[in-house]
Amino acid sequence: MLHRLFLRIELVKTFRAGQIYLKKKIGKDEIRIFPKIHSIRPLPGRVEYVFTVPLGMNPADIEKKRWLFENKYGMAIELERNNKKFVLNVYDRKQSSNYRYDFAQISEAFGNKRVPILAGVNGRGELVTYDMTEHPHLLISGETGSGKSTQLRAILTALIQAKTADELQLYLCDLKQSELFLFKRVGAVKGDIITDPGDLYEVLKRLQAEMRRRGKLLADNELHHIAEYNEKIGGQKEPYIVLVIDEVSMIKDEADSMAIIDEIAAIGRALGVYLVLSMQRADREVISGRLKNNLVVRMAFRASDRINSNIALGSKEAADIKVTEKGRFYLKLEATECLQGVLLESDRAKKLLEPFKTSQLIEDNAPVRKQPEQQELPIFNVLEDEDNETAR
């Protein structure tokens, strides 16, 4: 009973601090009318608060002040509105703060998604995933030490474990030469890990040619999406392609490369070609214009200030993440949600990836060639010889 009384007092203090009340004069005195608290229920892993705003107060003002509840209770909250009634769920932060990578659970959450992306854990301790074919392209941003690199490692490892090399092709560009070496010689990774802007441009040109080939393929078959093509044809299917560029801001002055990246962002969805771009600081010179509009999904880890948070996320929340909250980020998908990234250490990732590695040495960032006796996917011919595009 005393605990509930304490929780009630703290909620009223929050209303007062955010000026969530009406002022009313009774004679010479002025009183404050706070939202009416109907119930406070400590539940497993959370505390549920139910309250209604007084007549004359705009309920939308409460939604605008979500930041107030986050400052008080932390980011692991849910605030739901039904007319004048609100339900505030405050989740135990420890519940999702140390979720370790478990592919059995991740695989179940992936279901039948075509290009499944592992996002993180919400305040209820539930895994959040989505399908890149429905929500194309991803921007990951965050200051050094915020958890961005661990997030990228978990996303790629889960993709490799979930899909075969015939279903998914990965092109990895690590311009800082520090994060993606773990994935070298993995069967789904086409070519060596790209570390040079010039090599990246060559791969981008091949992907551009591949998009043109796929566009013609869809037009000839009167289809709108590569998924439709894969479902309707018999036999050989077109694999999905994901291009990952870590620290994309390092090529912001490479106009030709940025133009192709912009093109992939604009038309890649229907063609099954997707981007994952990562950067420490959101940069207006890189994430601007059409590219920003086409980067549908954002994962914003801690930002240095509200300006950078707004560029990366479209709102200021990433600047409110504390230095001590490693792995905490905001996911902007259909709505903006605070999540905790999945913890996957580098040494453990190495062990998980070992069964997917080949002994073949890869040179010059060329697509991996299969042995002559094996049937070769049609994409390889196009990626190896862009000049053949017009002859197809």
Instruction: Give a yes or no: residue 97 inside a domain.
Output: no
Q: How far apart are CA 126 and CA 46, in angstroms?
A: 13
Question: Which of 61, 91, 121 is the endpoint of a domain?
Answer: 91
More confident position, 236 or 365 = 236
Beta strand 29-33 pairing with 127-131: unpaired
Please state which of the ranges 93-107, 184-198, 254-268 shows the lowest mean pLDDT: 93-107
The proportion of the chain whose per-residue pLDDT surpasses 90, expressed as a percent, equals 59
Question: Which tokens sit at 40?
Answer: 């406070």
**161: in domain:** yes
**Shared domain check, 151 and 64:** no
Q: Which CATH number belongs to the domain containing residue 381 in this structure?
A: 3.40.50.300
Could you tell me if 122 and 78 lie in one domain? no
Please check whether residues 338 and 239 belong to one and the same domain.
Answer: yes
**Is the pLDDT assigned to residue 392 strictly greater than 70?**
no
Q: In this structure, are 138 and 70 located in the same domain?
A: no
Specify the number of domains making up the chain: 2
pLDDT of residue 43: 81
Q: Tell me what pLDDT residue 375 has.
A: 37
Q: Please indicate, yes or no, if residue 210 is contained in any of the structural domains.
A: yes
Residue 300 clears pLDDT 70, i.e. is over it: yes
Mean pLDDT estimate for the chain = 86
Q: Do 356 and 231 share a structural domain?
A: yes
Alpha carbon distance 33, 121 (integer Å): 37
314 and 243 within one domain: yes
CA distances from 350 to 170, 345, 354 (A): 17, 9, 6
Among 91, 120, 153, the domain-final residue is 91
Domain enclosing residue 173, as ranges: 103-391
Q: Are residues 15 and 126 in the same domain?
A: no
Same domain, 57 and 79: yes
* Burial annotation 133-166 (CB, 10 A radius, 16+ → b, else e): bebbbbbbbbbeebbbbbbbbbbbbbbbbbbebe
Residue 160 domain-assigned (yes or no): yes
Q: What average pLDDT does range 97-101 have in this prediction?
A: 75
Position 109 in a domain: yes
> pLDDT band at 236, cuts 50/70/90?
confident
Say which residue, 338 or 234, is predicted with more confidence.
Answer: 338
Q: Is the pLDDT of residue 331 over 80?
A: yes
| Mean pLDDT to the nearest integer, 106-134 | 93
pLDDT of residue 389: 39
Residue 383 pLDDT class (50, 70, 90 cuts):
very low
Tell me: the pLDDT tens digits for 88-98? Answer: 988 876 555 56
Same domain, 230 and 368: yes
Give the pLDDT of residue 364.
39
Question: What pLDDT is stored for residue 64 in this prediction?
Answer: 87
* In the predicted structure, residue 7 carries a pLDDT above the cut 90: yes
Minimum mean pLDDT range among 121-125, 135-139, 222-226, 309-313: 121-125
More confident residue, 368 or 201: 201
Q: What is the pLDDT of residue 22?
A: 93
Please report whether residue 328 resides in a domain: yes
When pLDDT is averaged across residues 299-318 and rounded to a whole number, the result is: 88
Distance, CA of 52 to CA of 234 (rounded, Å): 58
More confident residue, 316 or 201: 201
Do 112 and 34 belong to one domain?
Answer: no
In a domain, 98, yes or no: no
The one-character DSSP state at 342 is: P
Decide if 186 contacts 244 (C-beta within 8 A).
no
Percentage of the residues of the chain whose pLDDT score is greater than 70: 89
Domain boundary among 38, 71, 91: 91
pLDDT over threshold 90, residue 356: yes
**Strands in 154-212 per DSSP E:** 168-174
What pLDDT, on the 0 to 100 scale, is given for residue 97? 55
Predicted TM-score (pTM) of the model is 0.75
Query: Are 162 and 255 within one domain?
Result: yes
CATH number, domain of 35, equals 3.30.980
Least Cα distance to 283 among 260, 261, 255, 303 occurs for 303
Q: Which residue has the higher pLDDT, 377 or 99?
A: 99
121 and 70: one domain?
no
pLDDT digit string (tens) for 31-50? 999 999 999 998 867 899 99
pLDDT band (50, 70, 90) for residue 372: very low
Identify the weakest region by mean pLDDT among 253-267, 269-283, 292-306, 376-390. 376-390
- CA–CA separation, 376 and 165 (whole Å): 12
The pLDDT of residue 385 is 39
